[in-house]
Amino acid sequence: MCIILLRTFRYKSKINFTSNIMAARLSSDMTKFKETLKSSKEIIILSGAGISAESGIPTFRGAGGYWRKYQASSLATPEAFRNNPSLVWEFYHYRREVAAKAQPNPGHRAIADYESKYGSTKKITVITQNVDGLHARAGTKNLIELHGNLYKTRCTKCKEVLVNNDSPICEALADRGAPDANIIGSDIPVRFLPHCEKPSCGGLLRPHIVWFGENLEAAVLEKAESAMATCDVCLVVGTSSVVYPAAMFAPQAAARGATVAEFNIEPTPATPDFHYYFEGPCGTTLQEALSD
């Protein structure tokens, strides 16, 4: 099942009726939601770019979704890497450096603290579309990273996946990757980009990220779908609900009877499918929802 960015115009009519549907179906009753959460046995927290945006991580969505003059999603493809690995590595080097300087925010910490407190009596799983590692740094243990991790590399030749926290990841990328729209292209020779260190290989490394048009790792997808299939409560946190297949998880859970609550700064295409909607910064709303 491959990563697809859903075309948001398909949802325009649905979004236009969001306020009316919300009035009929959705609740913002935090007390009632907390009662439901307290009695739950299996909880999924599905997070997206919105929660990390509160730590200063660019979302690369909407009008601001550009790095230099490039739409960020156009660089997150295998075709872009084949055509210009230097440019793609500059983009991901920039993202690695930004994420390395960022800190988990109150939303990340509220999730980790909730898991630490109730993980022995409830099955709590965090499924994230984010690749910045902030959930793990906040202390979350039962974590499924759907789209990979900025601090892992995969060899294009031998396919070995390794953790790599080097800064810069190679000398040629030092002081490169600035999001300056006046910088055109990238000219780092391929031989100077990150390569596999095994003497028998030496293949070009790529970020261990699931790019648009690529399949999620089968084991990762199976683990996520298995958790979603049995949860009784799902918290949708800071996700735009336009990247497939993650966009289908919560609506499917709601359709089979699980309670779904969305925490976001604005409604999304999937909002009308849910039971609760809590508007505002995740760091504020999650702290309230996950506290005693």
201 known ligand binder: yes
56 known ligand binder: yes
Has 147 been annotated as catalytic? yes
- CA 164 – CA 239 distance, rounded (Å): 27
Tokens (6 digits) for 175: 């002081």
Output the CA–CA distances (angstroms, integers) from residue 220 to 1, 120, 147, 217, 223, in the order listed. Answer: 11, 23, 9, 5, 5
Query: Which secondary-structure segment (H or E) carries 46?
Result: strand 42-47
260 known ligand binder: no
Return the C-alpha torsion angle 148, 84, 164, 56, nearest 10: -60
282 known ligand binder: yes
250 known ligand binder: no
132 known ligand binder: yes
Sign of the Cα torsion 92, 148, 100, 72 reads positive
64 known ligand binder: yes
103 known ligand binder: no
63 known ligand binder: yes
53 known ligand binder: yes
Set 108, 147, 195, 275: catalytic member: 147
Cα radius of gyration rounded to whole Å, the chain: 20
Tell the burial category of 88 from Cβ atoms under 10 Å away from its Cβ (0-12, 13-18, 19+).
buried
Binding-site residue positions for Zn(2+): 155, 158, 196, 201
Binding-site residue positions: 48-67, 92, 95, 129-132, 155, 158, 196, 201, 238-240, 264-266, 282
Binding-site residue positions for substrate: 92, 95
Active site residues: 147
Binding-site residue positions for NAD(+): 48-67, 129-132, 238-240, 264-266, 282
